[in-house]
Amino acid sequence: MSQSLVLLKPDAVRRGLIGRILQRLEDTGLRIRNIKMYDPPDYCHILKHYESTDEWLFNVGKKTIEDFVSAGLTLEEVKRDYGVTDEMGIGRVVKNRLIEYLTSGTVVAVIVEGNMAIEKVRLMIGHTIPAMAAPGSIRGDYGTDNAAFAAASKRSIENLIHASDSPETAEKEIDLWFGSGC
């Protein structure tokens, strides 16, 4: 038995998808152990949630460049939209946009429990970029956003849901949203 921390992001709440997304998680046999609404969350929670190690910043930047290339765009266009072309620099820009996105409205924090909960929920949410997320996944079924489209409006990718990616992050995130807080 394990627990995962899920966040329903402001776009999921605005679009009225709370019930449908939680239903999909429950349909698998996973159980909802706790729910808390942050209306909206403060900066401190988001900063602590995305601690943004160098590795995280680099990977976010790398995924962004890959997404631009797969959309047929060039580094010139990356430069136009982010002001920089290196992975770490892009990662930092994304981080700021992410803070704006997640403090822009209501976020619902949920503890989901069950066998293989962390792995199962990650599989269910799908790829970070909704345009690349498989049909049948939550991000794939309810969105088509991608890095280039989001960057043109200087905003974060909106992808409805967050889920813990390891036992260590799950423990840390559950403590942040349901325990000692900020």
Kindly list the catalytic residues.
162
Q: Cis peptide leading into 130, omega within 30 of 0?
A: no
Q: Is 162 near ligand ADP (CB under 6 A)?
A: yes
Amino acid (one-letter) located at 74: T
Q: Pick the binder of ligand ADP from 97, 149, 171, 176 (CB under 6 A).
A: 97
Q: Is 159 near ligand ADP (CB under 6 A)?
A: yes
Q: Is 110 near ligand ADP (CB under 6 A)?
A: no
**Alpha-carbon torsion (122, 87, 146, 69), positive or negative:** negative
CB atoms within 10 A of CB 179: 10
| The residue to which tokens 């970029």 are assigned | 129
Q: Is 64 near ligand ADP (CB under 6 A)?
A: yes
Q: Cβ closer to ligand ADP: 50 or 178?
A: 50
Residue 179, both tokens: 């325990």
Q: Is 4 near ligand ADP (CB under 6 A)?
A: no
Q: How far is the CB of 74 from ligand ADP (least distance, A)?
A: 16
Give the interface segment with ligand ADP, choosing from 14-22, 69-77, 111-119, 154-162 (CB under 6 A).
154-162
3-class SS of residue 79? helix
Surface-to-core class of residue 130, CB atoms within 10 Å of its CB (0-12 exposed, 13-18 middle, 19+ buried): buried
Q: Cβ closer to ligand ADP: 87 or 111?
A: 87
Number of residues that bind ligand ADP (CB under 6 A): 14
Q: Is 157 near ligand ADP (CB under 6 A)?
A: yes
Phi, psi of 9 (to 5 degrees): -80, 165
